[in-house]
Chain A
Amino acid sequence: MSIKGLPRREFILPGTAACPGCGLTLALRHVLKALGDRTILVVPAGCTSVIQGVAPNSSFAVPTLNIAFAASAAAASGIVNGLDAQGIRGVNVAVWAGDGGTADIGIQALSGAAERMTDMIYFCCDNESYMNTGIQRSSSTPPGAWTTTTPTGKREPKKDMPLIMAAHKIPYIATACSSYPIDLNSKVEEAKNIRGTRYIHILAPCPTGWRYPSERTVEVGRLAVETGLWPLYKIRDGRFEISIQSKPLLKESRRRPVKEYLEAQGRFSHLTQSEIDNIQGIVSAMWERLSLMDNKDIFKGW
């Protein structure tokens, strides 16, 4: 897929309430282009609830259900069954949830819906904090990051939601990044044609919460991938496969130093050199594991 080959039609109408340079709006724009108009979107509480704007207007040109914070996957489950009960076919039911609505308050409903193989695509747009309520930490916040509830830096690791979803044995899991729209488009296109629960986790840089100037949203996301901190991959029918943009990083020399990613963001500005070295070590360990997993059928089970 080339840039020129991407669908022209816009489903996000300009004039949203998003911050300038919002990574998740960029991601949603491309997700909706790929999904097309035969889509129902479920949006739990989060930035996206506000981005839609104030009634009677809405920024989204697809039918959208705003729902309580914990309930998105359950509501989607109901929508899928409600359509099925009436013989209505060929509608993409998609959840667009943040990291809070996915990994924390929403995890129970997501786990339940995935275990039932609910025929939906669940997107986690991950800006690594409860951004909408003012940048409080989530389980998806990376260690070391400043948030308003971890003012001296989060201690705990980032919860690995894609692996948690792989443990549910669903047919499709992928990681993506708003800075790689063509990769994101191809993953949505692939997911569209699979039945059962599909999960796509999109890293979405946030200038407001990550503390960098708004024009660098694409660059910051790129650095997350090129340093190896955010590997792009997919797991299709239990088979793990590193995506083409991240494949070269199997070689350590091809990874950019994590320092470049961390120094680009104010939320990491208090890190010491030894803490940065520690993170660099974690990246190496992570990629050792990824190289063992690449091209292997490791997520099948009963």
Chain B
Amino acid sequence: MGAAGRTGSWRVYRPIIDKTRCTRCLLCWLYCPEGCIERTVEDDVEVNLEYCKGCGICAEECPLKAITMVREGA
């Protein structure tokens, strides 16, 4: 359990990764402040929705615009 609880509940927006556009450059993994973008063995990326706070850095930095921030509950 995260030291500040399940911080995924903080989110207003959640990142959605479009795998068809993703080139596995890993910039989102690089820039996520908390390591909530998980890097698989094959260098795929998955968002950890339990803890992702929805800061939007990953979407902002993705060079292919493969990540969109979508409002929670929308």
Q: Which residues of A contact B (CB under 8 A)?
A: 3-4, 6, 8, 10, 12-18, 20-23, 25-26, 29, 52-54, 57-59, 181, 207, 213-219
Contacts and interface: CB of A to CB of B under 8 A. Distances in A.
Say whether chain B's binding surface is mostly helix, strand, loop, or mixed: loop
B56 A21 contact: yes
B30 A20 contact: no
Interface residues of B, number: 34
Interface string B41-74: 0010000101111111101110000000100000
Contact of B2 (A14, A22, A181): A14
A15 B43 contact: no
B34 A29 contact: yes
B16 to A, nearest CB: 14
Q: Which of A10, A16, A22, A213 has the most CB of B within 10 A?
A: A16
**Interface secondary structure of A, over-half rule:** loop
A298 to B, nearest CB: 34
B3 A4 contact: no
Contacts of A215: 55-57, 59-60, 69
B26 interface: yes
A148 B72 CA distance: 33
Given A21-B55, A53-B2, A214-B56, A14 B31 contact: no
Contacts of B59: 215
A218 B60 contact: yes
Interface in B1-47: 1-7, 10, 25-27, 29-36, 39, 43
